[in-house]
Amino acid sequence: MKRALLIFLIVFIVMQFIRPNKENIAVQRDLEIKADLEVMQIFHSACYDCHSNETKWPWYSNISPFSWVVANHVTQGRKALNFSTWENYTQEEKDKKLKDIYRTAYASMPLPSYIFAHEDANLTKEQRTFIRNWTGVRAK
Protein backbone atom coordinates (compact mmCIF):
# COMPACT_ATOMS: atom_id res chain seq x y z
CA MET A 1 0.00 0.00 0.00
CA LYS A 2 2.75 2.45 0.92
CA ARG A 3 4.62 1.57 -2.26
CA ALA A 4 1.54 2.22 -4.44
CA LEU A 5 0.96 5.55 -2.70
CA LEU A 6 4.60 6.52 -3.22
CA ILE A 7 4.41 5.60 -6.93
CA PHE A 8 1.19 7.59 -7.29
CA LEU A 9 2.79 10.61 -5.60
CA ILE A 10 5.88 10.44 -7.84
CA VAL A 11 3.74 10.16 -10.99
CA PHE A 12 1.60 13.09 -9.81
CA ILE A 13 4.68 15.23 -9.20
CA VAL A 14 6.18 14.34 -12.59
CA MET A 15 2.85 15.23 -14.26
CA GLN A 16 3.19 18.79 -12.92
CA PHE A 17 6.20 19.33 -15.20
CA ILE A 18 4.13 18.63 -18.33
CA ARG A 19 2.59 22.05 -18.85
CA PRO A 20 0.05 22.90 -21.57
CA ASN A 21 0.12 26.16 -23.48
CA LYS A 22 -2.12 28.67 -21.69
CA GLU A 23 -1.36 31.69 -23.80
CA ASN A 24 -3.77 34.56 -24.23
CA ILE A 25 -2.91 36.35 -27.46
CA ALA A 26 -3.28 40.13 -27.35
CA VAL A 27 -6.75 41.17 -28.47
CA GLN A 28 -7.20 43.70 -31.24
CA ARG A 29 -10.57 45.26 -30.41
CA ASP A 30 -11.25 46.09 -34.06
CA LEU A 31 -11.26 42.33 -34.84
CA GLU A 32 -13.58 41.38 -31.98
CA ILE A 33 -17.22 40.50 -32.56
CA LYS A 34 -19.59 43.45 -32.27
CA ALA A 35 -22.95 43.02 -30.59
CA ASP A 36 -25.47 44.68 -28.31
CA LEU A 37 -24.36 45.15 -24.70
CA GLU A 38 -26.67 42.39 -23.44
CA VAL A 39 -25.35 39.90 -26.01
CA MET A 40 -21.76 40.80 -25.17
CA GLN A 41 -22.45 40.33 -21.46
CA ILE A 42 -23.80 36.85 -22.14
CA PHE A 43 -20.83 36.02 -24.37
CA HIS A 44 -18.39 37.27 -21.73
CA SER A 45 -20.01 35.32 -18.89
CA ALA A 46 -20.64 32.05 -20.71
CA CYS A 47 -18.47 31.86 -23.83
CA TYR A 48 -15.31 33.96 -23.73
CA ASP A 49 -13.23 31.65 -21.53
CA CYS A 50 -13.14 29.05 -24.31
CA HIS A 51 -14.07 31.07 -27.39
CA SER A 52 -11.78 34.11 -27.21
CA ASN A 53 -8.22 35.15 -26.53
CA GLU A 54 -9.33 36.49 -23.14
CA THR A 55 -9.46 33.24 -21.21
CA LYS A 56 -9.55 33.60 -17.43
CA TRP A 57 -7.48 30.60 -16.38
CA PRO A 58 -8.91 29.19 -13.12
CA TRP A 59 -6.61 28.02 -10.31
CA TYR A 60 -7.15 24.36 -11.16
CA SER A 61 -5.76 24.96 -14.65
CA ASN A 62 -2.36 24.96 -12.95
CA ILE A 63 -2.69 21.39 -11.67
CA SER A 64 -2.15 18.44 -13.98
CA PRO A 65 -4.11 16.54 -15.25
CA PHE A 66 -6.85 19.19 -14.93
CA SER A 67 -4.64 21.70 -16.74
CA TRP A 68 -4.51 19.41 -19.77
CA VAL A 69 -8.30 19.12 -19.93
CA VAL A 70 -8.89 22.86 -19.52
CA ALA A 71 -6.21 23.78 -22.06
CA ASN A 72 -7.64 21.27 -24.54
CA HIS A 73 -11.15 22.70 -24.12
CA VAL A 74 -9.84 26.22 -24.74
CA THR A 75 -7.79 25.14 -27.77
CA GLN A 76 -10.73 23.30 -29.31
CA GLY A 77 -13.12 26.14 -28.45
CA ARG A 78 -10.92 28.76 -30.09
CA LYS A 79 -10.48 26.54 -33.10
CA ALA A 80 -14.25 26.19 -33.53
CA LEU A 81 -15.05 29.87 -32.84
CA ASN A 82 -12.94 32.76 -31.64
CA PHE A 83 -14.85 35.95 -30.82
CA SER A 84 -11.53 37.82 -30.57
CA THR A 85 -10.75 37.26 -34.25
CA TRP A 86 -14.30 37.52 -35.61
CA GLU A 87 -13.46 40.05 -38.31
CA ASN A 88 -10.80 37.71 -39.75
CA TYR A 89 -13.56 35.31 -40.80
CA THR A 90 -15.03 35.61 -44.28
CA GLN A 91 -18.73 36.48 -44.50
CA GLU A 92 -19.46 32.85 -45.38
CA GLU A 93 -17.57 31.68 -42.27
CA LYS A 94 -19.38 34.24 -40.10
CA ASP A 95 -22.76 33.05 -41.39
CA LYS A 96 -21.84 29.43 -40.66
CA LYS A 97 -20.58 30.27 -37.18
CA LEU A 98 -23.73 32.25 -36.42
CA LYS A 99 -25.79 29.22 -37.43
CA ASP A 100 -23.60 27.06 -35.20
CA ILE A 101 -24.17 29.44 -32.29
CA TYR A 102 -27.90 29.36 -33.04
CA ARG A 103 -27.91 25.54 -32.91
CA THR A 104 -25.71 25.14 -29.85
CA ALA A 105 -27.39 27.85 -27.75
CA TYR A 106 -29.87 25.20 -26.61
CA ALA A 107 -28.15 21.96 -27.45
CA SER A 108 -24.69 21.84 -25.92
CA MET A 109 -23.11 25.10 -24.81
CA PRO A 110 -21.67 25.90 -22.41
CA LEU A 111 -20.33 22.45 -21.62
CA PRO A 112 -21.75 20.87 -18.45
CA SER A 113 -18.21 20.51 -17.07
CA TYR A 114 -17.73 24.27 -17.48
CA ILE A 115 -21.05 25.07 -15.83
CA PHE A 116 -20.10 22.81 -12.91
CA ALA A 117 -17.19 25.13 -12.08
CA HIS A 118 -18.82 28.37 -13.34
CA GLU A 119 -22.45 28.48 -12.25
CA ASP A 120 -22.90 32.00 -13.63
CA ALA A 121 -22.32 30.59 -17.13
CA ASN A 122 -25.46 28.45 -16.92
CA LEU A 123 -27.67 30.42 -19.25
CA THR A 124 -31.36 30.84 -18.57
CA LYS A 125 -33.93 29.90 -21.17
CA GLU A 126 -34.50 33.60 -21.81
CA GLN A 127 -30.77 34.23 -22.39
CA ARG A 128 -30.57 31.25 -24.76
CA THR A 129 -33.61 32.54 -26.67
CA PHE A 130 -32.09 36.03 -26.77
CA ILE A 131 -28.85 34.64 -28.28
CA ARG A 132 -30.78 32.53 -30.79
CA ASN A 133 -32.84 35.52 -31.86
CA TRP A 134 -29.72 37.69 -32.17
CA THR A 135 -27.85 35.11 -34.28
CA GLY A 136 -30.91 34.32 -36.38
CA VAL A 137 -31.26 37.95 -37.45
CA ARG A 138 -27.56 38.25 -38.34
CA ALA A 139 -27.27 34.93 -40.20
CA LYS A 140 -29.70 35.97 -42.91
User: Can you tell me the mean pLDDT for 30-55?
Assistant: 86
pLDDT at 31 over 90: no
Give the residue, 124 or 20, on which the prediction is more confident.
124
In the chain, what percentage of residues exceed pLDDT 90? 7
pLDDT score for 84: 92
pLDDT at 39 over 70: yes
Q: Could you read off the pLDDT of 55-111 as tens digits, one per residue?
A: 888 887 788 887 887 788 888 888 988 999 999 899 889 888 888 888 877 776 777
pLDDT at 18 over 90: no
pLDDT score for 137: 59
Question: Mean of the per-residue pLDDT values for the chain?
Answer: 81
pTM: 0.77
Which of 104, 103, 79, 83 lies closest to 94 in space, CA to CA? 83
pLDDT score for 82: 93
Gyration radius (Cα) of the chain, Å: 18
Cβ-Cβ contacts under 8 Å for 20 (sequence gap 6 or more)? 67, 68, 70, 71, 72
